[in-house]
Amino acid sequence: MEKYAIEGTPKTPTISFDIQNGVLEIKGRSIPENSIEFYKPLVDALDKYSSASKPATTVNIQLEYFNTSSSKCILDVFKKLEAIHKGGSAVTINWHYEEDDEDMLEAGEDYQAIINVPFKMVQVAE
């Protein structure tokens, strides 16, 4: 498997995981009917990736909004990334937020406090 991709909808984010280059991107809104079901293929892809991860893994998160059940699934994704980081791949998470979106900034800071992976806050202009 070289790539894992899901096209975004009004309720689900676009997910693009370029396994060849170790780049994961999650963009959009995350309010799926069933968050666990939606994120499970990504978690499984990360499991497979962890056995042969690249020397560096870059993660770009650019969510406009996510619901509570998505936040738990995003944490599960971050925990997989933390395991990949501990396994020797230099994982960097870039958390993008709009400059006036305090909630998204705080959410990123909350994840940053929980996960032992280099976390960068990236402010984007609207």
CATH number of the CATH domain containing 16: 3.30.750.24
Q: How many domains does the chain have?
A: 1
Note the pTM of the prediction, 2 decimals. 0.94
What is the structure's pLDDT at 46?
96
What is the structure's pLDDT at 1?
60
Report, as ranges of residue numbers, the positions in the chain whose pLDDT lies below 70.
1, 126
What is the structure's pLDDT at 125?
81
What is the structure's pLDDT at 17?
97
* Cα separation, 57 vs 19, whole angstroms: 9
Structural domain of 86: 3-124
Spatial strand order of the sheet with 56-66 comes to: 3-6, 14-18, 23-30, 56-66, 90-98, 119-124
